[in-house]
Structure 1
Amino acid sequence: MRYFPMQMARLRLQLTARPVEMESLPPAISRRFISPDGLVRVEVLPAHDVRDQEARRVFVDEVAEISPDLSGGAISVLRAGDVVGQAMVQASLLALALGSILIFVLIRRIGFIFIVMAPILLAGVLTAAIGILIGLPFNFANVIVLPLLIGLGVDSAIHLAMRARHMALEKQADPGQSGMAALFSSSTPRAVVLSALTTIGSFGSLALSQHRGTASMGMLLMIAISITVLTTLVVLPFLLRFADGLSKRLKNKKARKE
């Protein structure tokens, strides 16, 4: 009962509403739509669902043809998406460049750069394809997966490549065992898998977030890291074996010529 008189007074005031005209608008409201020099602000609503990026771009382009000096949520989101996309391309290229430099510094062979990067690039393509198939494409929140994928992939691949190279140089493999069998009998692949599992568990917790962007980033990171480990353990050893065989054939061919 305490607020009843106040509510009744507000109701009586609302019942006395009259037609609204431009002259009767409060200055605080009219200033938002009419400038001091008489320019009127026009609000345009889209006919299609602008949550779709292509529909949003079409809507912005059509409005821009009429009024180039447009503003609002649609163009802000569109331009922000373009900036984020360009930033992620730059970050991915920078991660590739720094990863390549790190591989060369540690292994001192240019060929190993392509051998190590090939499984990572394959993992990136498979991650994007799986994301599209399950309805989890890249967006503003989860596109950060790409630089992380490159960094984590280079880390795992370097461990395997260096272990294989050290075993070949130091001749630690058993005489009756192939180089790849000796590599997988070592502790390095297990360490790579366990490290990846801890990373998957930590990033996977983001998938439980109520924020859709954060949850999609967690899901995509789990997929990306899993595929990266799989391609590293499956594709990289074959590439190392192929490179080793090619190097031996070139040496034998050179020795025969001499």
Structure 2
Amino acid sequence: MNRPFIHGINFEERLRTKLEALGCRIYYDQTYDHQYKLDFIVNGFRDVARLPEHIGIQMTANKDDVAKQREFLHVQKKSFVVPKAIYLEADPAADIEQGAATLVYAALLALVFNREYRHRRIVGLRLTRNFSFEFFDLEENIRHLQGLERLPKTSRMIPTSDEPLVGKIINFNKEKGYGFIACESRPNNVFFHIRNEIAEEVLAHIETAEEESTGWRQLDIPVTFREKSVVRFGEDKPVAFDIKLASAVLCA
């Protein structure tokens, strides 16, 4: 049974302790935490004579905390206190004692010794509950989250009939918070986000679907929805909202 991460100091201490047991040499100073937003610094690995670059780590169990990501990126761009800095976003359902810390250790090794990441100084690292990790571009992720924050302010209704559109939710990614609806009257699948007024019965159907290793759930849920246009990266994009479960008669 998974034991969830404990937030705060205990969360950080547990991960530090496990990483040290795995072979990381770690430096910790509260000054670095307050001034440079680094919970600790990895400055060596067991059996590695010299670590090419020290790695500063900021940890959080809060998903998509755009304010914290912005602050971390801003401080790291100004400070240059470490050659590499990681913003570690851990799924609260992951288990440090049962393998999650080992994944962090593997990610640190990849960041240091994989040529693909040699010139990336500030990196996002996402740790998922299904024992996998991925690096992500922190600046790009912040732009994406800021775009979602602006959706209500920049949206406008597309001229359509008063009748709702009919379609089927074909997939959804819970971690990313969005999915797509196939609709015969639209040339492309319509994007929707979990925040976009989705009825409880629709969410219940999504939750019962099996999640693939990629994080996506393949679905076939008949729904009705309305559509509006939002400005994203300078372009109008259709977005579904007011999504409700369609009746059998309506979908026939």
Q: Say whether the fold is shared (TM-score over 0.5).
A: no
Q: TM-score, normalised by structure 1?
A: 0.26
Q: TM-score, normalised by structure 2?
A: 0.26
Q: Give 1 or 2 for the bigger CA radius of gyration.
A: 1
Bigger strand fraction: 2
Q: Which has the higher contact order (CA 8 A, sep 6+)?
A: 1
